[in-house]
Structure 1
Amino acid sequence: MKIFRVVWRTIVYNFSSSALCIFLTALGTAILCLVLLLSSQIDRQVHLNSKQIDLVIGAKGSPLQLILNSIFHVDYPTGNILLDDARKIAQHPLVQLAVPLSMGDNYQGFRILGTDSSFLDLYALQLASGGWGTGDFEAVLGYEVARAKGLAIGDKIVGAHGLVAGNDLHDDHPYTVVGVLAESHSVADRLVLTNLSSVWHMHDHAHVHHGQGHEGDENRHEEEEVHDLLRMDVQGKEITSMLIRYKNPTAVALFPRMVNQTTNMQAASPAIESARLFSIMGIGLDALAILAWVLMLMAAASVFVSLYNGFKNRKYELAVMRSMGAPRVILLKLMLMEGIFITVIGALLGIVLAHAAAFAIAAEGVGDFINAWHFGIEEVVIGLTGLLLGLIAALIPAVKAYSTSISQTLLR
């Protein structure tokens, strides 16, 4: 234990140089850890939320925007499509499952999604309590919604117009909570599900009470729900988009082209658009990773310079320790442990900073994708890397201390 105390006091005594080394190590570690954390968790969430969906049908526009809105619920709709047109697509022989979506309202920042019970089948969601609502203005809450707001079966909630929290409340038509979903670690945890007819009635009601000034905006975000997509009378009704699962792999080559060329709708593939998204993100993440490695190498160089200069300034002190009976190996350990301590402290501080940054990013509205306090193998690898860099940086000063001649040093 004495050797640890000596090393710690040496670091504190030389705080200015030690602090610079710790800062550089922490900064490089934080950036590298954050890059690995974001890329791994976003990749996991993209796979989790889109693995059961082969195609998304929606209004013409950006296919990436359509995917982000309909699957990940982090963007605005490209527009609305006629439910009657969507139903014709759902009846195609190559379609196994078609799930209608309609959005435009929120509950205190959580999106209210009009759909039908096939949404639960598509995502393999389980109900922790209650059941799927069969009546209008009945809601099934995602796990995170119920937990964050302390809601249970029978509670009333009031939606607001728009996809972000606002004051335009539909307080004359509250929803009754009839079910709560089990935790799925997907975007469904942060959704409020209701039937499409509830959304239709809500917006029809909004037109009556808010007048023509809101009509264009309501048309843009209007959502509809169908209890049975293939049988319900939906003349003139609209939805935001529709999620498709194919019956067989043959549809991959034929179905999207058919939709894009023969209808006024667009078909977007989650696999293709997700790959495109990652290619866009990958450039920035790679640049940050390179910067992190440069900073960590600079930190290792700084540790080396600090220890080497410290060795030269403490040669007499080390020689006195030798003359008082300290073996050579103790001097070797002192220098090695000093380098390891500095880089390990920096690495641990960097990991904490990375998770704090991830928490701040998640708080900006992408909490569905990032679990800021998830610790994985990345942190272990980065910590071991920091230890190795500290060991390498301290190696030459440690060998110098080990081989220092007592007599020559004391005679100078």
Structure 2
Amino acid sequence: MSLFRLTLRNVLHRRFLSLLTVCAVAITVAFIVLLTLSRESVEQGAKKGYGPFDLVIGAAGSETQLVLNTFYHIGAPTGNIPLAVLDQAKQDKSVDQAFAMTTGDNFKGFPIVGMDSGYFFTRYGDSKLQEGVMYTRTGETIVGAYVAESLGLKVGDTFSGAHGLVQEQAHESAEAEHGENHGSGEHDEEHDEEHAHESFHYTVAGILPELHTPDDRAVFTTVDYAWAVHELAPEDREITAVLVKPASLLGAHDLKQALDGNNGVQAAYTSKAVSDVLNAVDQGSRLLSVLTAICVLLAGIAILLSLIAAVGERTKDVGLLRLLGKSRVYVWLTLTSEGLLVTAAGLIFGLLLGHLGAYLLKDALFAQAGIQIEPYHWTPEHWLIVAGALSIGLLSSLGPAFRMYRMHPLSLFKS
């Protein structure tokens, strides 16, 4: 009987214990694979999330909140700033490109973002739309590929937006259902605002191609959409942020110094705010790394216990093999190959399970944070996972195998 057939027969003889060991290895490998893919996706998504815009200008507050809302469409804006800030940024010689952004409304949970159409050509080059044309008039929109797919939007469709975040609207509805009293003036103001949004209709002029950035899950329109919805006079018009592509890093520094802290305006380095977010993610990853190490230890113990049980069951079988002339090396290989076979089976199932988990979570992760996880991506760390898993299987096998290797065949048979 060949070594492989003997090893396979021994594994199948203890089906339940072998299955538990395979599951322990598979769950550990799947957890590590999912963690690896998620961490890489977060890092890559964060780096390419803001494109060439190294500086962002917005209302005073949290720099991280400003950057996340502007580029990743997460959370609420820090506030509004005067429209004159845009003119000041465009007139600065150290600025290559500057684009105004207005936001604060949503359509079925997806943010409606007012943005100059030049933003797309500056950030993505001359990439064509998937369908339709770029917006040119107030009320025309182009929608991200993820939004169009999720909501089934097509060119020519019309819709009405809603003010603020969906969570805020749900909270207000809950308060109304519980009969909380509001002043008549406040009630009328909220009613007028809701009516203004419902009466203003958007038309889908085009659909963006898959950009693999947070812009895939946003609805874009002209900057003046918010002014049109609320019928604001020219002197009352404000913007949410200014996205700046500086001509040089020194120019970005000078513009930041000129604007930061003046009249409730802040200028933030995009890369610094993103680095702060990644540092927070890294701290969470360290905690997960500890849990991963515990899982790896438990998987190694499971393999060790499985082989110890195998040694106890097959003592006489091994003694008989030795009396029939099989060498100590053959006996040693039967046990180590069993450990490697169980580990390899768990490794294969773990890799498949980890990538399946990434596939199932990719939409949820993208919907919440705009991070695109690649479930079919094979990273260099995968090779480390394979080598590490097989090494743990081999090391766990050495103890029981060495114990059988040292014993005399007669003592093995008599025991």
Same fold (TM over 0.5): yes
State the partner residue of 1:409. 412
User: What are the within-5 Å matches in structure 2 for residues 225-304 of structure 1?
Assistant: 234-304=234-304
Distance in 2 between residues matched to 1:247 and 1:411, nearest whole Å: 85
Which is worse superposed, 5-14 or 329-338? 5-14
State the partner residue of 1:180. 207
State the partner residue of 2:220. 193
CA drift of 1:13 comes to: 4.6
State the partner residue of 1:211. none
- The number of residues matched between the two structures is 385
State the partner residue of 2:397. 394
**8 Å Cα contact 1:84-1:237 kept in structure 2:** no
Distance in 1 between residues matched to 2:324 and 2:151, nearest whole Å: 68
Deviations 1:286-328 (A, max 9, x none): 2211331233134223322431342133111222344456665
State the partner residue of 1:214. none
Deviations 1:1-50 (A, max 9, x none): 97556545544554565455445434443443333222211110111112
Q: Secondary structure at the match of 1:154?
A: coil
Distance in 2 between residues matched to 1:7 and 1:130, nearest whole Å: 62
Distance in 1 between residues matched to 2:336 and 2:319, nearest whole Å: 17
Percent identity over paired residues: 28
State the partner residue of 2:137. 135
Q: Secondary structure at the match of 1:235?
A: helix
CA drift of 1:356 comes to: 5.7
Distance in 1 between residues matched to 2:80 and 2:6, nearest whole Å: 70
Greater RCO, CA 8 A, separation 6+: 2
| Equivalent residue letter for 1:410 | F
**8 Å Cα contact 1:102-1:240 kept in structure 2:** yes
Q: Secondary structure at the match of 2:304?
A: helix
CA drift of 1:182 comes to: 1.6
| Equivalent residue letter for 1:32 | I
| C-alpha distance 411-262 of structure 1, shift in aligned 2 (>3 A) | closer
Unaligned residue ranges in structure 1 (runs of 5+): 206-232
User: What are the within-5 Å matches in structure 2 for residues 324-403 of structure 1?
Assistant: 330-352=330-352, 354-355=354-355, 358=358, 359-360=360-361, 363=364, 365-366=367-368, 368-371=370-373, 373-377=375-379, 378-402=381-405
Unaligned residue ranges in structure 2 (runs of 5+): 171-193
Distance in 2 between residues matched to 1:236 and 1:84, nearest whole Å: 11
Distance in 1 between residues matched to 2:201 and 2:10, nearest whole Å: 66
CA drift of 1:393 comes to: 1.4
Deviations 1:132-173 (A, max 9, x none): 111121111112222233333222233233233868794433
State the partner residue of 2:190. none
Q: Secondary structure at the match of 1:409?
A: helix
Q: Secondary structure at the match of 1:105?
A: strand
Distance in 2 between residues matched to 1:334 and 1:163, nearest whole Å: 63
| C-alpha distance 256-282 of structure 1, shift in aligned 2 (>3 A) | same
For normalisation by structure 1, the TM-score amounts to 0.82
State the partner residue of 1:147. 149
**8 Å Cα contact 2:72-2:369 kept in structure 1:** no
**8 Å Cα contact 1:137-1:194 kept in structure 2:** yes
CA drift of 1:204 comes to: 3.7
Distance in 1 between residues matched to 2:388 and 2:89, nearest whole Å: 54
Distance in 2 between residues matched to 1:374 and 1:164, nearest whole Å: 33
Distance in 2 between residues matched to 1:59 and 1:33, nearest whole Å: 40
Distance in 2 between residues matched to 1:371 and 1:234, nearest whole Å: 43
